[in-house]
Structure 1
């Protein structure tokens, strides 16, 4: 296996718990994510989708987004809801955290700089939501030249239809640069 990292997208309390952004089937994929993270915490980076203090802190259409979701700004929510879920948080460190204010973890450039410095060429993606932040992470990784592996049984979304559509889009349009596999198959590859 090449030099790889596990990029675990937004496995946060704000999505796992009873909030307007709750992703009901996040718990269905957490077992696979926990297993990979516990086996390789030093290779795991947990992203956190960080909301602004208030909508007016954000530029352009992000301001409109948080005007719609004003109850999810840091001024309104319990700040600990932005934390990684407890089943994974105990792995930090050696697992790392990358905070982001947009869907993509690549926007700031820090992640790419860090991975480039570590000679990483493969990004293994898990987490949520498949049709938003996972999709942005996968396409961003492809754009930067990484081999991207999406573990299809370790990603989740709020709706089955768009989850399936996102996986089909990745599978059909990016097959030369991206692999979609099951968590157990990926873990077996690591052991061989």
Structure 2
């Protein structure tokens, strides 16, 4: 591990609170994530999934997606739903926030350009959901050539089977580019 950043995916109020997108066991990953981010806030980048204000503002199938989830658009949600959960919010700054409109943080190229300028070659991944936004972040990072460490006890999903399938996929099919570790294993190696 040379130059690394902790990429914490979408630990936001709208996922931890009782909304249609509630991730029931996100609260169980909060302490391990806060431990990593709290030790290395200057190396932590928090992504936030920011829905549009209306479904018709999105292209293609995203429009259909937000027609289904209209109640989860920023036009309908309280503004504080987009915030990071409280224990993580206090770490910014020096931690940074990167907002994204899709599952992947790589779509517009901005995050990659920042990491290239900082000579980052490894990403330590935490957050939610394992089988959606975390998976998109990991696969995109692999495509861009980053080494990946997935903190297996610091990722979560609203679908246990999807969570397990995503971790199994990443461990079996991307073992050259990615590594699974517990938070304690990672912290002991730092």
Within 1, Cα distance between the matches of 2:64 and 2:159?
Answer: 23
Question: Equivalent residue for 1:133?
Answer: 133
What value does the CA root-mean-square deviation take over the aligned residues?
0.5
Structure 1 outlier segments of 4+, above 2 Å: none
The alignment partner of 2:18 has SS state of coil
Report the equivalent of 1:16: 16
Name the TM-score, length of structure 1 as normaliser: 0.98
1:122-152, Cα deviation, whole Å (9 max, x unpaired): 0000000000000000000000000011000
Q: Who is 1:179 aligned against? A: 179
2-side partners of 1:38 and 1:75: how far apart? 32
5 Å-filtered alignment, 1:42-61, equals 42-61=42-61
Looking at structure 1, the residues matched to 87 and 57 of structure 2 have their Cα atoms a distance apart, in angstroms, of 31
Q: Distance in 1 between matches of 2:123 and 2:63?
A: 30
Q: Which blocks of at least 5 consecutive residues in structure 1 are unaligned?
A: none
Q: CA deviation at 1:159?
A: 1.2
CA distance in 1: counterparts of 2:33 and 2:129, whole angstroms? 14
1:100 match: 100
Instruction: Count the aligned residue pairs.
Output: 190
| TM-score of the pair, normalised by structure 2 | 0.99
1:94 and 1:13 map into 2 onto residues whose CA distance is 20
- 2:114: which partner in 1? 114
